[in-house]
Amino acid sequence: MNVIAVANQKGGCAKTTTVVNLAACLAARDFSVLVIDLDSQGNATSWLSSGATIPGAWEAMTTREDLQKLIVQTNIEGVSLLAGSRELSNLDKALAGELSVETILKRRLAKLNAKSFDYVLIDTPPTLGLITLNALAASKDILIPLTTHVMSLSGVAQMFRTVEQVRDVLNPDLNVLGLVASRVDLRTRHAKDVLATLLERFGDKLLKSHIYENVRLAEAPSFQQSILTYNPSSTAAQNYRDLADEVIILTSSHH
Ligand SMILES: Nc1ncnc2c1ncn2[C@@H]1O[C@H](COP(=O)(O)OP(=O)(O)OP(=O)(O)O)[C@@H](O)[C@H]1O
Ligand SMILES: [Mg+2]
């Protein structure tokens, strides 16, 4: 089971878009995938399911309900979901007084049969609070999507500091799988400059697959589809297929 947290405390940098489309592309390569939506906004959940509120990550982290029973099928074949919900924003309070609150998700996932899923992708909120720490404690890898704007650079530096702290205290083996340059608009000089800076600063941690700005990606959630079915011949679909293939290679060589 390759557990990958998709995280960046910066809002709107394509975390959810990455989680859902990468999940679909991994499933299309015949891997079984579990998406865990840890964001109280529930964007991945409303994209992948009918919209009705269903039990999920909140119940998994605050009750003893069997994890397997909380996981549901999605409208994408091969992709399962542990849903997110509004309550997640109250996790700190709900867990007050409990021990090791940063490793609850890790301990719950350890009870899943390791053969149940090939990949677990965790969508996280745009904060570095308890929820994101749970995601980082439970994961082998972190994938960091970011937009190619100069403001993104300081956010990524902050993310790397958090990864260091998590390695020190919670998860010594946490590996940065890579940075995914997203919403790249190569018509602008600025995007090219930022890409060059990222390459210089982060070397091969900057993944080779870039995701270009494409309105089809913004439209797909309204149709509850991944880009693979919404617009299979688009550049955007090819971008995410390439990303999935890169992730498959990296995760099979690292672990
Ligand atoms: N490559 C792209 N081209 C065009 N639009 C995109 C692209 N990637 C993401 N978007 C759009 O950008 C917005 C933010 O993306 P998304 O919701 O995936 O970010 P996020 O990091 O999950 O946000 P949050 O921090 O709020 O959870 C969405 O409207 C999404 O459809
Ligand atoms: Mg999101």
Indicate which ligand has the atom closest to the C-alpha of 184: 1
In whole angstroms, give the CA distance from residue 219 to residue 16: 13
Rg of the chain, C-alpha, whole Å: 17
Question: Which residue puts its alpha carbon closest to atom 29 of ligand 1?
Answer: 218
Q: What is the pLDDT of residues 28-42, one digit of tens each?
A: 999 999 999 999 999
Using the atom order of ligand 1, give the atom closest to the CA of residue 17.
18
Q: What is the pLDDT of residue 171?
A: 98
Phi first, then psi: give them for residue 142, nearest 5 degrees.
-120, 135
Question: Which residue puts its alpha carbon closest to atom 13 of ligand 1?
Answer: 12
Q: What is the pLDDT of residues 217-232, one digit of tens each?
A: 999 999 999 999 999 9
Q: What is the pLDDT of residue 255?
A: 54
Q: What is the pLDDT of residue 53?
A: 83
Indicate which ligand has the atom closest to the C-alpha of 17: 1
Question: Which residue puts its alpha carbon closest to atom 10 of ligand 1?
Answer: 218
pLDDT band (50, 70, 90) for residue 254: low
Would the pLDDT of 111 be above 60? yes
Give the E-state strand segments of the chain in sequence order. Answer: 2-6, 33-37, 72-73, 79-82, 119-123, 141-147, 175-182
Q: How far is the CA of 16 from the centre of ligand 1 (A)?
A: 7
**pTM summary value:** 0.97
In whole angstroms, give the CA distance from residue 111 to residue 109: 5
Token pair of 71 as six digits = 């996981």
Average pLDDT over residues 58-86: 96
Mean pLDDT of the chain: 96
Question: Which residue puts its alpha carbon closest to atom 5 of ligand 1?
Answer: 218
Indicate which ligand has the atom closest to the C-alpha of 239: 1
Using the atom order of ligand 1, give the atom closest to the CA of residue 11.
25
In whole angstroms, give the CA distance from residue 221 to residue 47: 5
Question: Which residue puts its alpha carbon closest to atom 11 of ligand 1?
Answer: 218
Q: How far is the CA of 39 from the centre of ligand 2 (A)?
A: 7
pLDDT band (50, 70, 90) for residue 50: confident
Q: Is the CB of 134 under 6 A from ligand 1?
A: no
CB contact at 8 A, 37 and 56: yes
Q: Is the CB of 132 under 6 A from ligand 1?
A: no
Q: How far is the CA of 115 from the centre of ligand 2 (A)?
A: 27
Using the atom order of ligand 1, give the atom closest to the CA of residue 221.
31
* First-to-last C-alpha distance (Å) of the chain: 10
Domain chopping of the chain, boundaries = 2-254
Q: What is the pLDDT of residues 200-213, one digit of tens each?
A: 999 999 999 999 99
CB contact at 8 A, 175 and 134: no
Residue among 10, 16, 17 to mutate when testing ligand 1 (max atoms within 8 A of CB): 17
Domain 2-254: assigned CATH number: 3.40.50.300
Q: What is the pLDDT of residue 114?
A: 80
Q: What is the pLDDT of residue 113?
A: 84
